[in-house]
Amino acid sequence: MRAAIIGGGVIGGGWAARFLLNGWDVRVFDPHPDAARKMGEVLENARRALPGLGNVVLPPEGTLTFCGTLREALSGADWVQESVPERLDLKQTVLAEVQAHVDPTAIIASSTSGFKPSELQQGAVRPEQILVAHPFNPVYLLPVVELVPGAGTAEATLTRAKGIIEGLGMYPLHVRKEIDAHIADRLLEAVWREALWLVRDGIATTEEIDNVIRYGFGLRWAQMGLFETYRIAGGEAGMKHFMAQFGPALKWPWTKLMDVPDFTDDLVDLIASQSDAQSGHLSIRALERVRDDNLVAMMRALAANDAGAGALQNAHDRKGLPAAGLAATLEDLKDLTQPVLTQNRVIPLDWTDYNGHMTESRYLDAFAQATDRFMEIIGCDAAYIAADGSFFTAETHLRHLDEAHAGDPITVHTQVLLAEGKKMQLWHEMRRGDTMLATAEHMLLHVNLQTRRASDPRPDLAANLQRISKAQAGLPRPEGAGRAVGAARSPVS
């Protein structure tokens, strides 16, 4: 698949990174002399952050090409993303030239944050292939994309666009009715407008406003949004109680949403000086890296509870299992005689410690996830656990053989050492390429979750485990298996 990126600024560069790191070939057209440098910096941050967001390795990176002409960039494009400055006449001119060179079956999407697709389609020779795909910065991490079809957009175009956006690990929000600024920016505009008044009137500084968001309702919004947050605020009576209790306040003159402060030089200077004092000691690229680190950590925390953007990433990971060579069930395994691939991923940013390498607890985390993957393969999945059966770890032994760092691609292969009655003994080996990083040996007991005591597994689960155990019986016993802590081992390479 090939994407053409028209305009290589912050948004265009983010789109290029999202496509490229999901295996698409990307061609870029931007006549600005610094376009390649700026996009290269965005891609550097994206390569650092995106691969560790999920728990499944991304596909091989596509090929990036900077083109000298628009026509060259559009050659063979399946998706065209227009991200030129927010001027309607410029966008219409660019889209007309795009249609003169691109295949009629290609999707043409605009990143516009304000214009309606019907405005973009005015004068278009093929309005059916044009729609709005409005993302959020950083495009390579934030998943939501507002998909807005115009009156002339073909239903097939919208359907294909949804599928492509989902394939990039993003969430296509279908905006069913055209409206200026779509949905999200209208909400942001309300907060932004009120914030300007609070600064102008000397009620709060830029930092204080940012603090009340990031220390307060912003944390709630990240997991539950607006309405679900207020549902909880209504207590046991729910949303109706909240509306009855706080609805009258909507008539009080608290906000100035219908009144815009004059953008005087004094107001601009005041806001700029406060912003400089707040974070001017950091470069924009450094701020982006801080932002990306925090976004990855928060979204991974949400994933642990299958909530918000984390739930979306979990679903995307599940879809990516086959491409990553990971089995979902026993029938997916092609060769039962070899250790099973149970992890194929990149080490996330938040898995490193003060020594600059993967922290001790995260080795156990990675191996625990490998055990969970193996359990699912043999049939100890969510449904089995809901029926009151599972495995508990009774003993674990880890060996740390080499360093691992954020961004390193790692695999874990799992061998069954023992499958006998209630017992399951697993051996995991973690590698970066051919380098052995760590091993883990786990003794697990099958447990009845009602009695919390060891019990025999269900016959079908026991049969699946025995099937793998017998197939792997011919494998040599791994070096280090059964070793006690402190016993001699090969030196760290």
Residue ranges of the binding site for NAD(+): 7-12
Q: CB of 471 within 8 A of CB of 448?
A: no
Rounded Cα distance between 199 and 192, Å, is 11
Residue 72, by phi and psi: left (phi above 0), alpha (psi -120 to 50) or beta? alpha
Burial of 218-244, coded b for 16+ CB within 10 Å and e otherwise, reads: eeeebbeeeeeebbeebeeeeeeebee
Return binding residues: 7-12
Q: Under DSSP, is residue 79 helix (H, G, I), strand (E, B) or coil?
A: strand
Backbone angles phi, psi at 390, to 5 degrees: -165, 175
Hey, what are 441's tokens? 């040996």
Rounded Cα distance between 173 and 157, Å, is 15
Rounded Cα distance between 30 and 68, Å, is 8
Closest Cα to residue 6, out of 21, 18, 17, 16? 16
Hey, what are 443's tokens? 């003794």
Rounded Cα distance between 446 and 441, Å, is 16
Closest Cα to residue 124, out of 154, 93, 88, 78? 93
Q: What is the distance of C-alpha 344 from the center of its chain?
A: 16
Rounded Cα distance between 147 and 7, Å, is 19
